[in-house]
Chains A and B, each alone.
Chain A
Amino acid sequence: MGRNRVSLEICEACAEAVKLADVDVIAAYPITPQTHIVETLSAMVADGILDAEYINVESEHSAMSCCIGSSAAGARSFTATAAQGLALMSEMLFIASGLRLPIVMALVTRTLSAPLSIWGDHSDVMSVRDCGWITVFAENGQEVFDFTLQGFRIAEDERVLFPFMVCLDGFHLSHVIEPVELISEEEARDFLPIYRPRYRLHPNEPISMGCFAMPEYFMEIKKRQDEELKASYDVIIEVWEEWEKRFGRSYAPLVTYQTEDAEAIILIAGSYAGTARLAVDDMRKKGLKVGLASLKLWRPFPLRDIREILGRTEVVVVVDRALSVGGAGGPMACEVRSAFHGESPSPKVVSFVAGLSGRDILRSDFEEMVQRALSHAEKGELPYYEMFGVRE
């Protein structure tokens, strides 16, 4: 292909994308398993190969607060975090979206305490699913690199102006070395021009940002935020199409595998889609008509894609790596169920919660989940959800 294909730890691939984006301000606080991203970035700044202000903040709350200040002042701004760090900054996530600031953040997904655990799952990202950020899940290093660069372009588009979160699974992705195809600085500059915001905090044109709203304005403001976040879908697709033309890699809200004739489709987000793809091959060999949908776009929620792709099958096996404690199912499963409420025909949605805190999900586990789901569906007994792989 003649492209620059290199072996990189995926955290480094993320940092490479941030460097190519020529960010102006990075504000970050260390937390496992995200640290390699910000270590790499601070080394780039220290070596003078990235011209950015690197702010060693004293907490993740301040990391996001600094990014809010810097982005409002018109600087391209980046941070990265995980788990407790995300929880600590969660107040500011909602505000970054409400202020319509195109900050990009890498979230190296990790389980929320307690018990304390540094290992990976999606309990952190699922805890902030209403925060108003565009949220994508990467499945491998290449996607982390691509999404990070795309993130700035999408977020800064005047039709969008929302912060952008790239989720990459802790350890399963963050600490793995993979071949990643980089793009050149010229290609990056061409794809991602200098950020020139229409409004910024600057004495030349004083504006007030973050005013308080009385109830008579509040709902209108929120409705607009909601509608415009949903409308960002079209821009995301547009940018993905352009990316494919430029670099040959295509993206979709749900990337499917063997779904055309599938009687059951596994839906999963993140790195385990790779394992699930192999499991689909195993099951196909045994004559089971199973497919896979790997969810890339989580917010805005791809309702139409979910209905189109999953609506054609009989059973949807949703594998959530997050638990809604005391809730009605895995977070993704609940949203997929509600997507089909009142729809006809509508697939049976079976919810599994698996792989919490880095617990392995094997190829054979996917097969077992599919078998169980099919059996539940056949009997017409659909539990709210099942915790899979728990020792009794």
Chain B
Amino acid sequence: MAEGKERLLKGFSPRKLPREEYFGPGHRACQGCGPTIAFRHLLKALGPRTVIANSTGCAEIISSPYPQTSWRVPWIHSAFENAAATAAGIEAAYKALMRKGRIREERIHVVSLAGDGGTADIGMQALSGALERGHDCIFICYDNEAYMNTGIQRSGLTPFGASTTTSPAGKVFKGQRTWKKDMPAIAEAHRIPYVATACISHMKDFYMKVLKAAEIEGPAYLHILAPCPTGWRIPPEMAVEIGRMAVESGVFPLYEVEHGKKRLTVKISERKPVKDYIKIQGRFRHLTDEDIEYIQRRVDEEYERLLRESGEASQAT
């Protein structure tokens, strides 16, 4: 697939996508599941010479009820906090075995696949260690912004104001009280060759980044926004659309950092109001106009910083 990158991306259309499915149908995900869209296309992009180390979470639970599996590439799950370490072990094994002539020399894409909790909370240490050591792996955070598998509990990547079962909107507190942790920036701080954000709503951008992550030698970190209709309290058919709104409002900007150079890959010249994004989601139902104004101000600030860092002109008025 990596060879056909130019061909695929030039005049990108669904018809040009590989027909092979490596994430099989019949899994147990909820209707409208955003993460499974990400897995399906991730594997279409990477192809069959791929192996996945999966953390505990939605991805693992919906795809591997013994004795069935949705994975048509080699796949391992061992625990929650260690996808990156497990992937690192696999990568090291291939290196040693290829060097010793025990298996054929080839590029095998080793993918660490973890959710937002498995990446930014409990899995952060293992991820940081693996990024620092420079393993040739693709580290993926599929971010659905809470511990959805256990019933919508807040994580460090749950956005400010969102009501979850452990950051509920109550009489005193209005949902999540912390700002979403800037996980891509943390990955970037490891000075790895490639960091990018992606969203299931922008597939050309998504494929471009997965293929780039696969091509680049050394660690690549991809942070994929993968909306969860169940946890975000939106209709299932809205999963892709809500992702688009997150990107177009500047709540989740799409960019990449290649060898230290930051670049906005999807430029939004006129960002849509954050209010439009927030108002249609049940998890933000309790927020007042004043709360939303606060979020808008903060999104503006962060977006300005991103523009500055990417060498783009300010959009401040």
Chain A residues at the B interface, C-beta cutoff of 8 Å: 24-25, 27, 51-53, 55-59, 61-62, 65-75, 77, 91-92, 95, 99, 194, 201-203, 205-214, 217, 221
CB-contacts of B24-68 with A (<8 A):
48-51, 53, 60-61, 64-68
A194, B101: Cα distance in complex, Å? 12
Query: Considering residues B53, B66, B96, which has the most beta carbons from chain A within 10 angstroms of its beta carbon?
Result: B96
- B64 contacts which chain A residues (CB < 8 A)? 208, 210-212
Interface hit among B3-11, B121-129, B161-169, B232-240: B121-129
User: What would 24 A/B residue contacts be, using CB atoms closer than 8 Å?
Assistant: A24-B93, A27-B89, A52-B96, A53-B95, A55-B89, A55-B92, A57-B85, A57-B88, A58-B126, A58-B132, A65-B89, A65-B126, A66-B85, A66-B89, A69-B86, A69-B90, A70-B89, A72-B76, A77-B93, A95-B78, A208-B69, A208-B76, A209-B76, A211-B69
- Proximity string of chain B (130-173) to chain A, C-beta cutoff 8 Å, 1 when within and 0 when not: 10110000000000000000000000000000000000000000
B82: interface (CB < 8 Å): yes
B15: interface (CB < 8 Å): no
- Nearest neighbor of B77 in chain A, beta-carbon distance: A210
B1: interface (CB < 8 Å): no
Given A69-B91, A73-B51, output 16 extra A-B contacts at Cβ < 8 Å. Answer: A24-B100, A52-B96, A55-B133, A57-B85, A58-B129, A61-B81, A66-B86, A69-B78, A70-B90, A74-B97, A75-B93, A91-B79, A203-B50, A206-B48, A209-B76, A211-B69
CB-contacts of B75-125 with A (<8 A):
75-79, 81-82, 85-97, 99-100, 102-103, 108, 125
- Nearest neighbor of B95 in chain A, beta-carbon distance: A53
Contact of A68 among B48, B51, B89, B133 (CB under 8 A): B89
- A210 contacts which chain B residues (CB < 8 A)? 60, 64, 76-78
B206: interface (CB < 8 Å): no
- A91 contacts which chain B residues (CB < 8 A)? 79
Known: A55-B88, A59-B125. A206 touches B72 (CB 8 A): yes
Contact call B65/A212, Cβ cutoff below 8 A: yes
Least CB distance from A102 to B in Å reads 13
- Nearest neighbor of B108 in chain A, beta-carbon distance: A203
Least CB distance from A156 to B in Å reads 14
- A51 contacts which chain B residues (CB < 8 A)? 96, 99-100
- A194 contacts which chain B residues (CB < 8 A)? 102
Query: Considering residues A70, A77, A213, which has the most beta carbons from chain B within 10 angstroms of its beta carbon?
Result: A70
Contact call B90/A62, Cβ cutoff below 8 A: no
- Nearest neighbor of A91 in chain B, beta-carbon distance: B79
Contact call B77/A211, Cβ cutoff below 8 A: yes
Contact call A92/B79, Cβ cutoff below 8 A: yes
Contact of A212 among B49, B53, B66, B82 (CB under 8 A): B66
A325, B82: Cα distance in complex, Å? 31
- Nearest neighbor of A25 in chain B, beta-carbon distance: B92
Known: A66-B88, A211-B67. A95 touches B95 (CB 8 A): no
A211, B63: Cα distance in complex, Å? 8
B71: interface (CB < 8 Å): yes
Least CB distance from A30 to B in Å reads 14
Contact of B74 among A59, A65, A203 (CB under 8 A): A203
Chain B residues at the A interface, C-beta cutoff of 8 Å: 48-51, 53, 60-61, 64-69, 71-79, 81-82, 85-97, 99-100, 102-103, 108, 125-126, 128-130, 132-133
- Nearest neighbor of B61 in chain A, beta-carbon distance: A212
Q: Which 10 pairs between the two chains have the least Cβ-Cβ distance?
A: A69-B89, A58-B129, A75-B93, A66-B89, A73-B93, A65-B85, A65-B82, A62-B85, A210-B77, A211-B64
- A206 contacts which chain B residues (CB < 8 A)? 48, 71-75
- B74 contacts which chain A residues (CB < 8 A)? 201-203, 205-208
Least CB distance from B137 to A in Å reads 10
- A74 contacts which chain B residues (CB < 8 A)? 93, 97, 102-103
- A205 contacts which chain B residues (CB < 8 A)? 74
Contact call B92/A203, Cβ cutoff below 8 A: no
Contact of B93 among A59, A70, A203, A209 (CB under 8 A): A70
A69, B86: Cα distance in complex, Å? 4
A69, B97: Cα distance in complex, Å? 13
Known: A66-B85, A66-B89, A72-B90. A201 touches B96 (CB 8 A): no
- Nearest neighbor of B83 in chain A, beta-carbon distance: A65
- Nearest neighbor of A101 in chain B, beta-carbon distance: B78
Contact call A202/B103, Cβ cutoff below 8 A: yes
- A72 contacts which chain B residues (CB < 8 A)? 76, 89-90, 93
Known: A66-B85, A77-B89, A212-B65. A61 touches B126 (CB 8 A): yes
Contact call B88/A69, Cβ cutoff below 8 A: yes
- B129 contacts which chain A residues (CB < 8 A)? 57-59, 62
A299, B129: Cα distance in complex, Å? 33
